Structure 1
Amino acid sequence: MSGWHPSHQSRWFAVLCGERLCAKPVAVSLLDRPYVLARDGAGRAFALEDRCPHRHAPLSQGTCRDGGLACPYHGWRFDAEGRLREIPGLPAGGALPQVRVRSAAVREHDGLIWLRADGRDEGELPAMVRRNPPGSRRFLWQTQWRAHVVDAIENFLDPLHTHWIHPGLVRRGGARQPTTARFAPSAEGFAVDYIGQAQQSGLLYRLFESPRESERALFDAPGSAQIEYRYRNGGAVRISLHFAPHDAATTSVFATLHVENRWAPAWLVRALVWPLLKRVNDQDARMLALQSDNLRRFGAVRGASTQLDLVRPWVEAFWRDGAPPADAAAKDVALML
């Protein structure tokens, strides 16, 4: 799958952890278009196309000055809306040319900077982002996977690879249990409830969890996915990944961990949980890179699927057509998980 449906220009994507945007501009890329992020005089983030209209130098190599962004080549300065405000060397009273840099809409929420490419500050961020209570975040991290965004999303939401790619860490192949996956699609995503697995067989569960009340995988289009565990003692843990494609071969991934009603201080998560989650990430990233390389070797080929591949058709159709598949329907699927 290549190219991007026009509707994705009007959707919000996470593009940077907010703590990474300080005094210097930062280059990011979304849907094959380069942007520069910077902060204005009040500390608000803004985004411009990463190209000065004068001689096309990258603005991300420039400097933040007087609430705007100055080009590294001749110092042309643009404000947060992309309007030209200054040309060094222009005589007093000289008229500025009517040029500007294309801007994108930006929002900052719960540690992440979100970008909407069409420049319109409209619509809501994904529902799963807005649902997290203030103060519940314990962890925030960003990385990059060498994979198409559809393959990246499917990897995170697919539990059946975990016995093979993360053996003993997430699940053990010899400890599979009968499970029902209840798939429920909607106009903007889907939920998959895994019924019949109150415990998980891997090390992560044994070290950090307790008997579960429910396990749910969620997808909010276009690129936000979450695995939510609710526990019998009233607690909840939500692992969320937000995906933003640089291009057809590379995807930025932003990971958050939110915890409710469980003792899990941030320092403990960083010291004990993070090293294991990082190992899971590295194992997934390696397999996705192998998959991506092999797809390039063999060209445009379709993969074989079974009833166990619940999430791929919905995600693939949305990224291809900008809408859910017309035949999406709720269903229960039996599997050994």
Structure 2
Amino acid sequence: MRTADTEPEPASDHDGQHFVVRLLDAWYVACQSRQLRQRPISRRIFNTPIVLFRGSDGRPAALLDRCAHRNAPLSLGTCQDGALECPYHGWLFGTDGGCQGIPALCGSQPGRGHRVPRFETQEQQGFVWVYARADVEPKTTPFVFPHVDEPAYATVRYQATSPGTLHANLENILDVPHTAYLHRGLFRGVERNKVTATVRRFAKHAEAEFVGEPVPKGLLGRILAPRGGTVVHFDRFVLPSIAQVDYALGENHVIATTALTPTRDDEVVLNSVITFKTVMPRILIQPLLVPIGKRVLAQDRAMLKAQLQRIQDFGKEQFVSTEVDLLGPHIWRLLRQAARNVPEPQETTPDLPAVFENTVELMA
């Protein structure tokens, strides 16, 4: 057990209940494209209310959801020729956040300097992404979900809200040992198997590679690989908030990628994209994945809610980790370093070795 490298360090922004990491210089999913139509909608990222609407060119725009005049929620207003009209006094704001009109003023002249903070947006693959720091030009681009729209793959999407911190939800998605208990019968059966896992941490992501893992005995394994075999399994975390579970089972391949958006310190929105190809007809597989996913999500949400309640009861988190808590401590380390803008001692690229690598055996 590597205690020094696996135990989370105390955070300077501890809120008295749990550790909180707020990475503003990053992209997060604000909504699905189909959710943003003719009317503005309100979303939150790190407790900040943001209003989204479409400009005259149809492209999404995002502003702070607070009128510069009297703090009314702009999301309660309407869109007028690609601009956003405040519902209180009719002030009109463009996609750049600048005030374009004040109806009560004679001549309806825009007020100089009256503006609302603006957030960069990008629409791709059916999602609207927002850069969480206002009035800056991002140096990065949003994450790209793999295999979407590829002819060989089918795609299933779902969106849900989950209790708990960003870190708690990321670790939950990528934690293997709990699946044999919390999700028994869906992912795994009663029989346990010894599996070798290699954990690697890079400058901006971490992964766990599992070797010798048989096809899970649960319902999902029977659907995707009825003939059995050996699994090629990777779990990955990518800064700031991407969790990915990647299974290859013979000719079958399933990769579930979830983009997490922290709406509050103890709540996230999950946007999951599951892409898969199988030897079985898609028409038989696709209707089964969503119910299974919803069942797993319901079980996880119930546990995360109970965990959060217990943390609040005691006033703080108290974690003890072992080497089979594979990715959680590394997720925490990467989140904290990113929040402090502290790079890894050795920056890595796809062509360079990992900063950290360790191989362990676990029962899964």
TM value normalised by structure 2: 0.85
The answer to whether the Cα contact below 8 Å between 1:194 and 1:216 also exists between their aligned partners in 2 is: yes
The answer to whether the Cα contact below 8 Å between 2:187 and 2:217 also exists between their aligned partners in 1 is: yes
| Number of aligned residue pairs | 331
The CA deviation at 1:269 is: 5.2
Deviations 1:220-261 (A, max 9, x none): 11100111112322x421101111111211111111111246
Match status 1:25 vs 2:33: no
Match status 1:279 vs 2:295: yes
The CA deviation at 1:262 is: 5.2
Task: Choose the corresponding residue for 1:247, options 257, 260, 264.
Answer: 264
The root-mean-square deviation of aligned C-alpha atoms, in Å, is: 2.2
Match of 1:177 in 2: 193
Q: What one-letter code is carried by the residue in structure 1 that aligns with 2:168?
A: D
Matched ranges for 1:63-212 at <5 A: 63-92=78-107, 94=109, 96-118=111-133, 119-126=136-143, 129=144, 131-135=146-150, 136=153, 138-172=155-189, 174-209=190-225, 211-212=229-230
How has the CA–CA distance of structure 1 residues 247 and 189 changed in structure 2, closer, same or farther, with 3 Å as cutoff?
A: same
The CA deviation at 1:263 is: 5.5
CA distance in 2, matches of 1:90, 1:121: 36
Deviations 1:153-201 (A, max 9, x none): 00000011011111111112x2111101111111011111111013111
Q: What one-letter code is carried by the residue in structure 1 that aligns with 2:102?
A: I
Q: What one-letter code is carried by the residue in structure 1 that aligns with 2:166?
A: V
Deviations 1:21-66 (A, max 9, x none): 1111111111121101111122211110000010100011111111
Match of 1:332 in 2: 359
CA distance in 2, matches of 1:50, 1:279: 34
Match of 2:350 in 1: none
Match of 2:5 in 1: none
Structure 1: stretches of 5+ with no match in the other structure: none
CA distance in 2, matches of 1:25, 1:185: 40
The answer to whether the Cα contact below 8 Å between 2:125 and 2:148 also exists between their aligned partners in 1 is: no
**3-state DSSP class of the match of 2:195?**
strand
Match status 1:58 vs 2:82: no
The answer to whether the Cα contact below 8 Å between 1:147 and 1:292 also exists between their aligned partners in 2 is: yes
Match of 2:24 in 1: 9
Deviates more, 1:200-209 or 1:42-51: 200-209
**3-state DSSP class of the match of 1:275?**
helix
CA distance in 2, matches of 1:22, 1:37: 10
Q: What one-letter code is carried by the residue in structure 1 that aligns with 2:261?
A: A
**3-state DSSP class of the match of 1:55?**
coil
The CA deviation at 1:281 is: 0.4
Match of 1:214 in 2: 232
Q: Percent identity?
A: 28
Structure 2: stretches of 5+ with no match in the other structure: 1-13, 347-354
Q: What one-letter code is carried by the residue in structure 1 that aligns with 2:287?
A: A
The CA deviation at 1:205 is: 1.1
The CA deviation at 1:309 is: 0.8
CA distance in 2, matches of 1:313, 1:279: 27
**3-state DSSP class of the match of 1:125?**
coil
The answer to whether the Cα contact below 8 Å between 1:106 and 1:121 also exists between their aligned partners in 2 is: no
Q: What one-letter code is carried by the residue in structure 2 that aligns with 1:207?
A: I
CA distance in 1, matches of 2:110, 2:100: 11
The answer to whether the Cα contact below 8 Å between 1:224 and 1:242 also exists between their aligned partners in 2 is: yes
Deviations 1:57-115 (A, max 9, x none): 00111111111211111111111111111222322274523211101111112112111
